[in-house]
Structure formats: C-alpha cells, structure tokens
Structure 1
Amino acid sequence: MTDFATLPPVPVPNPDTQPYWDALKDGKLKLCRCVETGKWIHPPLERSRYTGGPVRFEEVSGKGTVYSYIVVRQALIPGREAPYVIALVDIAEQPGVRLSAYLDAAPEEVKIGQEVEARIVDLGDSGYRVPIFVPRQESSSVA
C-alpha cells in the first residue's frame, strides 16, 4: 500500500464537508443524503439538490466499481512516485454517485467496471484520514 505520510494537500473542511471529514477520522465513510428522497449527494451540499430540503450524512459500504480512471505518469506530488492511478468510483449504493480517489493497484491491472472497496488511511500526521480504493478479491471486471 502506498505511504500517505508525505502527501499534500491537507483538507480544508467547510460547513458542508465537515461531517464527511469527521466521519473519516472515526474510520467511517459517510456521504451526504437527501432526507426526503434518500438519494445520495456527493460532493456534499447544505441542502438537497433534488428537493431543496434537509440532508444528513449516512455511512456507505465503501464498495463500488471503477467508472473511469487516469494513470498519472509524471510525479506531481512530493513523496509520491509515478505511475499511480486516480479512479472515479461509482458507489454501490447509487450508481452515478462517484468518488474520486487513489486506487492502490498497478496501472496495468485496472479495468473499467472493476469491483473495488474503500480503505481509510491516515494522511500523514495531519490528523486527517482519506479514503483510498483497493481491488476486491472476488472482483469481476468488464472489458
């Protein structure tokens, strides 16, 4: 697994994102959800984009599938060696709601449709934690 000890940037939470970051500190992946419709919303918003009503944060499974990805071949972040993969992951709870995150896999092993799951890792000694994704062992992939 990649060492995140030297990786900037450190998050700067705002009122909309604070519950997301607080949940990660507690080892949970929670996303914003419309109270009235039950639809997930990411990135988080103060009010539901569907109804304008209230939202709350609820835990998700962390399971999903790779919707898209890029292979970063030029090191842009101090302490991070290229190549590495940044994936756009559809969460299992609601396809179309996607998280962008580091995917801990060799670039040649990543496939669109690949099943992945989140791991929550420390972001150095910043006090923050971030989700990364890893391939699921029983993964099936779409070509």
Structure 2
Amino acid sequence: IEYSQPVLYSHFRGKREIIGAVALQGATELAAAVRAATAAANGPRARVHSLARAYLDFAERHPAVYDALFQLDGGLAYAQEDTPEPLKDAFAALLESLGEVAGDGVHPGLFTEVFWASLHGLATLTRAGRLLPEDVAQRVELLVDRLAMI
C-alpha cells in the first residue's frame, strides 16, 4: 500500500484496528463479488453455485483480506446487535440466494450459516493444502447438490 508502518499507526490505534478496517473493506468487497456473481445466474441452483464459486474465488484471490475477515482478531462483533453494517451486508448477500433454497421448515438464516461454514471450511482447508485444489469444482457441486433444496 506504499505506507510505512509509522504512517499506518498514526491513523489507527494499533494492529487490531488495522485488521478491523481491512475486514470491513473486505466484507464490502465480498458482498459485491457475491452479488455480481449471483445476479448473472439464471435460477436458484445457478445462483447458489455462482455464490459458492464467488466466495471460494474471493478467499483464494485475497488471502490476507480473508484472514482479516475470518481468522484474525480485528475487534469486530459478529452475529450480534452491534455488528458493523459491512459484516451484516456480507451475510445478507449470502442470505439473498441461500434463503430461497433452505427447504421447508428450515430457518433461512440458520441454513445460510451452515452453508457459509461449509464454504469457509473448503476455503481454509484448500488454502492449507489439506484438500486438493483440482477437486474444488466437484466439492462445489456436491455441496450445492446435497445442501440446497432445489
């Protein structure tokens, strides 16, 4: 970013606040990527598939941002009343497509959490070398086929 560490710390109170700022910007970018991918898809199954691919692609292309969002302590509240809007909006971007495929009697928010947790696991394990990257497409198909009630 072409700023020295002292310059960064003159704008933020510490590492935790920097991570939080990166996470909030990342949440905005993730929401935009998911919405762009799902907007172009035709039908619920295609939207869910596009959402999964967009999420995993984001995690792969932006590993430091993804870590700030989900691995590092940025001092942000998740899934609480005081959760910052960019984080709420990123979840809403997932819910917009996943809520329609949750199935009868399943709370859309709960289904979205489970689907997101599955995507997070795939992203994290693939990046750590614990899952073969060449099987990503098959994993996405399996996830969509088994979880989404389409």
TM above 0.5, one fold?
A: no
Structure with more helix by fraction: 2
Structure with more strand by fraction: 1
Report the structure number with the largest CA radius of gyration: 2
Q: Which has the higher contact order (CA 8 A, sep 6+)?
A: 2
* Short-chain TM bin: under 0.3
